[in-house]
Amino acid sequence: MTVEARADRPGRTVAARNLFRDRPVIPLTVLLAVLVAVIELADPGIVNPNWVSVVVRQTVPLAILAGCQVLTMLTGGIDLSVGAVASMAGFVSATLVNGWGLPAAIAVPLAVAALAGLITGIGVGLFRVHPLIMTLGISFVVLGLSNVWQLQMVQTGAGVAPALRTLGSATLFDLVPLSFLVFVPVMLLIILSLRRTGYGRLLYAIGDNPVAARLSGAKSWQVLIVLYTISALLAGIAGLLLSGLTNTASVALADSSLLPSVAAAVIGGTSIMGGRGGYGGAIVGALILTVLSALLTVLGLPEASRQVVFGAIIVAVAAAYTRVTDQA
Amino acid sequence: MTATPARVERVHVRPADLLTSWARRNLWMLGLLALLVFLLALTKFIQPTYGAIALQGLGTSVLPLALAAVAQAIVVISGGIDLSIGSMMALTSVVAATAMDGQSEQFGVLVVAGVLFLGLVLGAINGGLVVATGVPDIVVTLAMSFVWAGSALLVRERPGGGASTWLGNLVVGPLGIDWVPKAVVVLIVIVAVIWIPISRSRFGLSTYAIGSSRLAAFRSGVPVGRTKVLAYALTGLFAALAGLSLTASTSIGSPVPGPYTLESVAAVVLGGVSLAGGRGGVFGPMVAVVILQLIGTDLTFLNVDPNIAFVAQGVILIAVLMSARVVEVWRTRA
Amino acid sequence: MTLTATDLLLEATGVSKTYGAVIALRSASLAVRPGEVHALMGANGAGKSTLVKILTGAVHPDSGRIVVRGRERMVHSPGEARRSGLVSVYQEPALIPDLDIRSNLRLTDTPVEPFRHWLHELGLEDIDLSSLARGMPLASLRIIDLARALAIEPDVLMLDEMTAALPANLTERVLAVVASQKGGDRSIIFISHRLIEIAAVCDRATVLREGETVGIVDVTKGSEDRIVELMLGEMVASTPAVAERTAAATRARDARPRLTARGLASGTKLHDVSFDLYPGEVLGVVSLEGQGQDELFDILAGAVRPSGGELQVDGAPASFHHPADAIRAGLVYVAADRAEALLMQRSVRENIALPSSTPPQRWGPIDLRRERIVVDTAVARLQIDARAGGEVRRLSGGNQQKVTIARWVAGGVRTMLCFDPTRGIDIRTKQQIYVLLRDLAEAGASVLLYTSELKEVQLVCDRAIVIFGGRVVAQIAGADADEPSLLRAAYNLRADAVLPEDIAAAAAAEGAAPGAASPAAAARTEPGA
């Protein structure tokens, strides 16, 4: 909106709007830069390569979870199970690594996550259960079963695999987070799939107009089953990274990331109504949320006011999108 | 929900037809009631000592979620969804507990009135933002859930405060005979006094209308924006009632939102309200809440891990909706 | 026009409206006298809908004056417009699906008795007021919507394409009722693409072009040409000219049919439809509303499975479980409802390329360069007036319809199923579509064309089948398919005494009681028929 306010001629206003609508990454990056500038002003010297590295490392799991929301929201859905699935993955991994070794501690949780996603996909795709409800129900099931697993595992104890700790929190040359080894391929895969593959086109098509997609020959159940499996798999990966980053194994590890993941996708310009959006914006959205959080801490505001500001920003950004995209 | 005075129809309708058509329209509700009766009988069978006291406990424990489900049902009927109900409950609950702490009983009445008004305002703000910004309901209320939860933390950092004695007495124990839990009576009276007249009013009709088809409602001259804001305000009012019932039953206020938002969505869906809007009522969700609670109780009696009970809730939610879909497909094929 | 403002019931002057960069209305004016039926005409995108929406408060104008009965009004919502006596009946009925009819009446403060009276006048009597609007046929809903509007006796009643999608018998009733409103104190603004109807019921016509009022015409015999001329502006106004075509008779009939249907049945609407569709021909399907044509096309497009009968494609039995199966068999479907066919927020390019990425084996990377060539070719062939990168929702109705067709033309057409492809679009685009369908047929494709505009049959089709009550009741060669004979055929079974009961019931439900049409209405439609 700041861009728009400066525009004095209608032509330029329209151009600014189109930029915001079609390439939200650019104005969002400007907003991110402003936030970084403010945090530097508030606490001179805080912004250094080390700080940037910390922020990026913290953002990686959230950005992956935001990817789950972008993909599902493009089809007009949402994935409320990412919190439970990510927590489950991190927790199960931690309980397995001592007995079964690292490969199993990575493969088993991801397989369980994919299974949960498959069930979600079948519910949404074949049985046409509303995604909100289906993923909500699955999150109840996953959380409950994680708790049962936790009771079974009390004797054996749990600890995050050292390899995951390194992957989640270490850096290369004190600068590049090692989690980029996972994140960069994931990011490229999502962005390229959305832009240049038939599957990506179908996600947009189903979200924009399911009837038209069907009449054009798209079998949405196939697309949705694959989609929710991918989403749960991504959530599982995010959970492993998160457990490595925080060095905790808890069945509630990622619960607090659920709503921010939706928020990051919304700020990044993905419409919850489907058919519009992209992953690039969501990554910047996740960065904005992390930096904003850091800024509020620097300003000495309590957790309470941080939440209030969070909420206000989401409404404001979403309102700005609605304004520019509704222009006929 | 139509309340047009009966008029003589040219088409003659037999009472039996009316009954069957009523039954068909309320099939879901009848099924829920049957399930409820079955579960009560089952509970008594599993645990022969299950009696009046347990029933009173059941009443008190379902009250907050039942009121939250009513709140959610209203906004869902209007075509929206409110993901900030849990946060609004936390906020109204801490405000009530903080304001009533150590104050006189009479002051407590004032506080209750004030908190109810606060609920209306919170809801109206949610609705106002939805209408003014044009952002999807789910996004606005998700964002506002942060705002209200944060505000709750600003009021009180950790659980505490107090509640007037009369407020606690209102929801605990029996009314008259032992078998009538006071909380259930309170719930029914609240809903009957607030929702029934509203649902039969023009505003109620408009609420169903904007949920069913926003465009058709707009073109029929329904003030869509105003109706939506009012529906949200009403949701806020019921969220405040739910928050007060939390304070009443625990005598404190907690700033951390409980699981009420998502569970209210689950209850609303199980209660036969379409997430697409325009269909359903508030009684189904209330019954669904009791059913979910009873299933949990039964599993506890059967010595099942309480976590399994939580799993069961998710499985039931999914299974009911999947089978509803199967029935629908089967019916259209037949 | 020396009338002063007070002599007019409604006067709108200098009304303008822009959406972003798009100018919907430049400077429109409209003056309606009391007691007249006033036609509002214009090609698609001329601004008719916007003007109506402004008059009924659904859209706020950027500038302009609206005067009702000499008093300036600024209506901010349909509710307010309703109270000032301005009511519109839209193409999509404004009935709440989940409320019963009685609650719908209560919602709009409509008195029940006048409503019943008008329902009766409009030929729709067997309506249970306690039935939900959801599930009623579209035609019934539109009639109910109209009766509801008439019942509150508005000063100005606006009818937006009221007769579109109505069966001929109900159309007659509607026109009779519209005509009966003449000469009173109230007026009707009548929007229709059908010049015959305009000539039959309207007194005067206001013509819009590119958001401006370009003329007001007294509707008399022969004024149609003048109206068309005004609508088209610089363009040459002529009757649709379709490419010369080889007569159906000379076509090689011994060729194997592309598509054979035998005894198709579905639900309560479609009972027994058989036909052969040959390569190189355009086969018309003609029927009144709700005679099973929707079900027929749903079956052929693979959207619905038939309950009986069989289909053969190129001589081999075919059964479709999903539209994808039909597409694989070469049957592609162009829907009348563009909202059903288009991804409104996506680009023209993505809309046209959509079918090429639907099967799972095509989910992989897209060859963008090849795609661009294919899309650009299709855009050029259909003369779509837009850049391929633009969002489809910003296109005019006619261009949107072209995109739905281009999607299939891009991949090469073998059999095209068109369901009323020209509904609600302007004359010029219609002509382009006629030419395209003929070209496809000349190139060896088969086209099945359902149309609600009977004159299209003679223009485009080689022959036509007529469906009534879910059965094929007649087959007419294209040369003989003039409107009177088609109409007669479409009504064919009405006088038949040995109607199967279900057909009679279906006919009664549609309000098609024998002899329902008033003599006046019949006389009025005569010249056009």
From chain B residues 149-188, the ones with a CB under 8 A of any chain C CB are none
Chains A–C, number of C-beta pairs less than 8 Å apart: 99
Measured CA to CA, the distance from residue A306 to residue B258 in angstroms comes to: 19
Smallest CA-to-CA distance from A280 within A190, A202, A183 is with: A190
**pLDDT value at position C45?**
63
Q: Is B3 on the interface with A (CB under 8 A)?
A: no
pLDDT digit string, tens, across residues C239-289:
444 444 554 444 555 578 899 999 999 877 788 899 999 998 999 998 876
Q: Which range, of A211-215, B260-264, C220-224, C357-361, averages the lowest pLDDT?
A: C220-224
**CA C503, C505, C511, C517 torsion-angle sign:** positive
C303 touches chain A (CB under 8 A): yes
ipTM of the complex: 0.83
Report the C-alpha gap between C83 and C411 in whole angstroms. Answer: 53
Q: Is the pLDDT of residue C1 over 50?
A: no
| pLDDT exceeds cutoff 70 at C507 | no
Structure confidence by residue, pLDDT tens digits, B58-103: 888 899 999 999 999 999 999 999 999 999 999 999 999 999 988 8
Residues of B in contact with C56 (CB under 8 A): 219
Q: Cα–Cα distance between C208 and C205 in angstroms, integer?
A: 10
pLDDT(B14) > 70: no
Mean pLDDT of C328-340: 87
Q: Tell me which chain B residue has its CA closest to the CA of residue C127.
A: B11
- Residue A154: per-residue pLDDT: 66
Digit-coded pLDDT (tens) for A22-37: 777 888 899 999 999 9
Sheet holding C282-286, edge to edge: C316-318, C308-313, C259-266, C270-277, C471-477, C463-468, C282-286, C446-450, C415-419, C331-334
User: In this predicted structure, what is the pLDDT of residue B245?
Assistant: 93
Q: Which member of B139, B149, B265 has the closest CB to residue A318? A: B139
The pLDDT tens digits of the residues spanning B41-60 come to 888 888 888 888 888 888 88
Judge: C79–B221 Cβ closer than 8 Å, yes or no: yes
Contact C358 A213 (CB under 8 A): yes
Q: Please, is C346 exposed, middle or buried when counting C-beta atoms within 10 Å of its C-beta (0-12, 13-18, 19+)? A: buried
Reply yes or no on whether the pLDDT at A289 is more than 50: yes
Spatial distance between the Cα atoms of B259 and A14, rounded to a whole number of angstroms: 44
Angle between helices B202-212 and B52-77 (to 10 degrees): 70
User: Chain C interface, mutation test: which of B219, B226, B333, most C Cβ atoms within 10 Å?
Assistant: B219
What's the rounded mean pLDDT across residues A236-249?
91
pLDDT score of A83 more than 70: yes
Q: Residue C400: in which H helix or E strand, if any? A: helix C397-409
Q: How far is B7 from chain A (nearest CA, A)?
A: 40
With cut-offs at 50, 70 and 90, classify the pLDDT of residue A241.
Answer: very high
Q: Is C265 helix (H, G, I), strand (E, B) or coil?
A: strand
- Give the neighbours of chain C: at least 3 Cβ pairs within 8 Å: A, B
pLDDT at C474 over 80: yes
Confidence (pLDDT) at A72 = 96
Question: Given pLDDT bands bounded at 50, 70 and 90, which one contains residue A14?
Answer: low
Of residues B157, B262, B310, nearest to A144 (C-beta): B310
- Residues in chain B with CB shorter than 8 Å from the CB of C95 are 216, 220
Instruction: State yes or no: pLDDT of C362 exceeds 50.
Output: yes
Q: 3-class DSSP state for residue B181?
A: strand
Closest residue of chain A to B145, computed from CA coordinates = A311
Measured between alpha carbons, how far apart are the two ends of chain B, in Å? 30
Give the per-residue pLDDT at B309. Answer: 77
- Residue predicted with more confidence, C432 or B17: C432
Least Cα separation, residue A72 to chain C (angstroms): 17
- A199 and chain B: CB distance < 8 Å anywhere? no
pLDDT for residue A17: 67
Interface test with B, best of A128, A141, A305, A315 (most B CBs within 10 A): A315
pLDDT single digits (tens) B303-316? 887 778 778 878 88
A217/C324 Cβ within 8 A: yes
DSSP state of B4: P
Q: What is the pTM of this model?
A: 0.79
pLDDT at B118: 96
Instruction: Give dist(CA B65, CA B88) in Å, integer.
Output: 13
For C348, which DSSP code?
H
* Residue in A with minimal Cα distance to B327: A127
Band of pLDDT at residue C504, cut at 50, 70 and 90: very low
Contacts of A309 (CB under 8 A, 6+ apart): A292, A296, A301, B150
Per-residue pLDDT tens digits for A166-181: 888 888 887 788 889 8
The pLDDT mean for chain C works out to: 80
Quick check: A299 and A42 in contact, CB under 8 A? yes
Give the model confidence (pLDDT) of C162-212 as tens digits: 887 677 788 888 999 998 888 888 899 998 777 778 888 889 889 888 788
Of A151-165, C214-228, C315-329, which has the strongest mean pLDDT? C315-329
Q: Compute, in degrees rounded to 10, the torsion defined by CA atoms A161, A167, A170, A176.
A: 180
Q: Which residues of C touch B8 (CB under 8 A)?
A: none
Residue B18 has pLDDT above 80, yes or no: no
* Residues near C67 by beta carbon (within 8 Å), at least 6 away in sequence: C5, C8, C10, C11, C12, C13, C73
Q: Is B320 on the interface with A (CB under 8 A)?
A: no
Tokens found for residue A311: 């909420």
pLDDT score of A228 more than 90: yes
How many residues does this entry show for chain C? 529
Q: Which of A197, A211, A328 sits opposite C366 (nearest CB)?
A: A197
The arithmetic mean of pLDDT across residues C481-493, rounded, is 69
Q: Are strands A176-177 and A171-172 parallel, antiparallel or unpaired?
A: antiparallel
pLDDT digits (tens, 9 = 90+) for C77-98: 888 888 888 899 987 888 998 8
**Which of C99, C115, C158 is most worth mutating to test chain B (most B CB atoms within 10 A of its CB)?**
C99
Write out chain A residues lying below 8 Å of C346, CB-based: 204-205, 208, 275
Contact status of B107 with chain A (Cβ, < 8 Å): no
Nearest CB partner across the interface for C322, out of A10, A14, A219? A219
Residues 6+ away with beta carbon under 8 Å from B234: B71, B74, B75, B120, B123, B194, B198
CA-CA distance, C125 to C143, in Å (whole number)? 11
Going from the C-alpha of C257 to that of each of B220, B263, C265, C478, the distances in angstroms are 50, 59, 20, 18
B to C CB pairs, distance under 8 Å: 80
Q: What is the per-residue pLDDT across B193-223, written as a single tens digit (0 to 9) for each?
A: 998 899 889 999 999 999 999 989 998 889 9
Question: Minimal CA–CA distance to A219: which of B115, B300, C30, C324?
Answer: C324
Question: Which of chain B's residues have a Cβ under 8 Å away from the Cβ of A309?
Answer: 150
- pLDDT value at residue C166: 78
- Residue B3: band (very low, low, confident or very high) from pLDDT cuts 50, 70, 90: very low
* Mean predicted confidence (pLDDT) in A303-315: 84
Q: Per the CB < 8 Å rule, is A259 touching B266?
A: no
The pLDDT of residue A67 is above 50? yes
Long-range contacts from A216-221, C-beta under 8 angstroms, 24+ separation: A216/C323, A216/C327, A216/C354, A216/C355, A216/C358, A216/C407, A217/C322, A217/C323, A217/C324, A217/C327, A217/C328, A217/C355, A217/C358, A217/C359, A218/C324, A218/C354, A218/C358, A219/C322, A219/C324, A219/C358, A220/A75, A220/A125, A221/A125, A221/A126
**Cβ separation C343–A198 shorter than 8 A:** no
CB contact under 8 A, B216 and C128: no
The predicted-structure confidence for B119-143, as pLDDT tens digits, reads as follows 999 999 999 999 999 888 988 998 8
Q: How high is the mean pLDDT of chain B?
A: 86
Average pLDDT over residues A226-251: 92
A11 confidence band (pLDDT: 50, 70, 90): low
- Is B19 a residue whose pLDDT tops 80? no
* Ramachandran category for residue A274: left, alpha or beta (phi over 0 → left; psi -120 to 50 → alpha): left
